[in-house]
Amino acid sequence: MNYLLSFAICAGLTALGANESNANQLLSCDLNVAIFLTMAWYLGRRKKA
């Protein structure tokens, strides 16, 4: 849940700070963050199981 919350905050800040010129760059950054958080969550679940 913490991973989802942190990504939601990141995406929200990106939406607030975005304008036409840097929106694409910020979106690709958010995508990388989402992939990283998904991997971290998955690996964390595997360790507990």
Domain count, the chain: 1
Distance CA 23, CA 5 (A): 21
Domain span holding position 27: 2-48
pTM score over 0.75? no
Asked if 41 contacts 2 with a C-beta cutoff of 8 angstroms, the reply is no
3-state secondary structure of 38: helix
Distance CA 40, CA 27 (A): 20
The helix-helix angle for 2-17 and 23-48 (nearest 10°) equals 180
- Give the pLDDT confidence of 1-49 residue by residue, as tens digits: 677 777 777 777 767 666 666 667 777 777 788 888 888 888 888 887 6
